[in-house]
């Protein structure tokens, strides 16, 4: 069994990005600049945005964090996004989700200029991905693809089962795994909360991608011998063993499943760090496109 080490691979990618930034600067070009907007004070969102901003700095990117109160209106948030759209120094914009209930996520996402939408959530980028055009691919599925590629995992003709149909992970990874070429050319089954006989489907998976948000949902009986298992879940669960009082738990029962599979991502240290590395890669791409 091989652990798909997201910490190691993301560190390699960040070093590659840092070298590219230095090359840009040596040619007199601008530093890539990511703007992150955080509305409210959700603990998990604060942590994710904090990691994104810190990683940018480590790789020599500029970053701007805009913190807004939970009471921010939809109109005010739209105005903030428009300011970032119109600021030529900002290459990439992310608005951390989820947003407070009184703000429409769809409206905010559609306000971000597609060429600055480094999360790849805008309908233009989602559409481009679907029809195989170049655009921004959401960072989590892009990170999964990068892991598969860097570990040379065979995907052609394989049965890839995805659990979860979100716009951020399940839907885009299904498109990526079924597209022509490597990594891709897989036969994809997209499962969700209404799927019946889920175990009978997951047992046929050569590659199992789980993005459900239910801790330890996938047990050993659900997994085929020597499957590749990618765990996107990161739920905070209570524990007495850490200072913070919580730990991150994946959707896969790692202790059991790791004994049966050929490759597996740990939680934490699997897909999570890859997401951040790919967000930065998208930001550099947005910056390069403007040269």
Residues that bind ligand GUN (CB under 6 A): 94-97, 119, 139-140, 168, 275
Q: Nearest approach, Cβ of 98 to ligand GUN (angstroms)?
A: 7
Q: Nearest approach, Cβ of 92 to ligand GUN (angstroms)?
A: 11
With contact defined as beta carbons under 8 Å apart, do 148 and 195 qualify? no
Q: Nearest approach, Cβ of 147 to ligand GUN (angstroms)?
A: 16
With contact defined as beta carbons under 8 Å apart, do 118 and 94 qualify? yes
Which of residues 147 and 227 has its CB atom nearest to ligand GUN in the complex? 147
Active-site residue, selected from the candidate residues 91, 119, 206, 231? 119
Which of residues 138 and 266 has its CB atom nearest to ligand GUN in the complex? 138
Neighbours of 237 (CB within 10 A): 10
Sort 244 into a burial class: Cβ within 10 Å, 0-12 / 13-18 / 19+: exposed
What is the SS3 assignment for 274? helix
With contact defined as beta carbons under 8 Å apart, do 163 and 191 qualify? yes
Rounded alpha-carbon distances, angstroms, from residue 115 to 36, 94, 134, 278: 15, 12, 11, 16
Which of residues 202 and 275 has its CB atom nearest to ligand GUN in the complex? 275
Nearest to 274 by CA among 108, 148, 177, 93: 148
Neighbours of 267 (CB within 10 A): 22
Q: How far, in Å, CA of 123 to CA of 110, rounded?
A: 7
Which of residues 97 and 113 has its CB atom nearest to ligand GUN in the complex? 97
Residue 158 is a catalytic residue: no
Q: Nearest approach, Cβ of 288 to ligand GUN (angstroms)?
A: 21
Q: Nearest approach, Cβ of 7 to ligand GUN (angstroms)?
A: 18
Which of residues 59 and 168 has its CB atom nearest to ligand GUN in the complex? 168
Cβ-closest position to ligand GUN: 97
Neighbouring-strand partners of residue 257: none
Q: Nearest approach, Cβ of 213 to ligand GUN (angstroms)?
A: 10
Residue 29 is a catalytic residue: no
DSSP per residue, 64-107:
EEEEE-TT--HHHHHHHHHHHHH-TT--EEEE-SSPPTTS-HHH
Residue 119 is a catalytic residue: yes
Q: How far, in Å, CA of 82 to CA of 183, rounded?
A: 36
Active-site residue, selected from the candidate residues 14, 52, 224, 281? 52
Q: How far, in Å, CA of 111 to CA of 108, rounded?
A: 5
What angle, 0 to 180 degrees and rounded to 10, lies between the N-to-C axes of helices 271-289 and 6-26? 20
Which of residues 228 and 232 has its CB atom nearest to ligand GUN in the complex? 232
Active-site residue, selected from the candidate residues 14, 96, 224, 281? 96
- Report, as residue numbers or ranges, the catalytic residues: 52, 96, 119
């Amino acid at each position: 069994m091989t652990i798909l080490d997201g910490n190691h691979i993301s560190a390699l990618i960040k070093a590659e990005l840092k070298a590219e930034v230095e090359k840009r600067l040596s040619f007199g070009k601008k530093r890539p600049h990511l703007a992150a907007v955080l509305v409210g004070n959700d603990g998990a969102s604060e942590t994710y945005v904090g990691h994104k901003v810190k990683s940018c700095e480590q790789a020599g990117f500029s970053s701007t964090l805009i913190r807004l109160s939970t009471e921010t209106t939809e109109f005010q948030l739209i105005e903030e996004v428009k300011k970032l759209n119109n600021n030529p120094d900002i290459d990439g914009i992310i608005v951390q989700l989820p947003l407070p209930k009184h703000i429409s996520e769809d409206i905010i996402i559609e306000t971000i200029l597609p060429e600055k939408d480094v999360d790849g959530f805008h309908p233009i980028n989602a559409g481009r991905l679907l029809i195989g055009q170049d655009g921004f691919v959401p960072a989590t599925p892009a990170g999964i693809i990068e892991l598969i590629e860097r570990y040379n995992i065979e995907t052609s003709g394989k049965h890839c089962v995805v659990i979860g149909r979100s716009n951020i992970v399940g839907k885009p990874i299904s498109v990526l795994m079924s597209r022509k070429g490597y990594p891709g050319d897989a036969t994809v089954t997209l499962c969700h909360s209404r799927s019946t006989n889920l175990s009978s489907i997951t047992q046929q998976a050569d590659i199992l991608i789980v993005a459900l948000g239910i801790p330890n949902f996938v047990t050993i009986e659900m997994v085929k011998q020597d499957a590749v298992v990618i765990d996107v879940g990161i739920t905070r669960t209570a524990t007495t063993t850490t200072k913070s009082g919580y730990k991150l738990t994946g959707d896969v029962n790692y202790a059991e499943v790791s004994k049966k599979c050929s490759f597996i991502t740990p939680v934490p240290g699997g897909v999570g760090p890859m997401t951040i590395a790919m967000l930065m890669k998208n930001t550099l791409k947005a910056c390069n496109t403007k040269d």
